[in-house]
Amino acid sequence: MKRYVLDASALMAFFEREPGADRVEGLLGVAAASHQPLLMSVVNWGEVYYSIWRKYGEEVARRTLAEIAQLPIEVEDVDMELARLAASFKARHKLPYVDAFAAALAKERRASLITTDKDFKLIEGEISLE
Give me the tens of pLDDT residue by residue for the chain, a chain 130 residues long: 789 999 999 999 999 999 999 999 999 999 999 999 999 999 999 999 999 999 999 999 999 999 999 999 999 999 999 999 999 999 999 899 999 999 999 999 999 999 999 888 888 889 999 9
CA triple 10-82-25, angle to 5 deg = 20
**Sign, Cα dihedral of 110, 44, 97, 20:** positive
pLDDT of residue 92: 93
Give the C-alpha distances (Å, rounded to integers) separating 44 from 38, 74, 129.
13, 12, 16
pLDDT of residue 119: 85
Q: Which class does domain 4-76+109-116 fall in?
A: alpha beta
User: Which residue type is seen at 72?
Assistant: P
Of 32, 41, 16, nearest to 114 by C-alpha is 41
CA–centroid distance for 18 within its chain: 16
Residues 6 or more apart in contact with residue 105 via CB below 8 angstroms: 5, 39, 40, 41, 76, 82, 111
In contact, 38 and 28? CB cutoff 8 Å: yes
Q: What is the pTM of this model?
A: 0.94
pLDDT of residue 125: 87
Cα atoms found within 13 Å of the Cα of residue 59, Cβ hemisphere only: 0
In contact, 113 and 128? CB cutoff 8 Å: yes
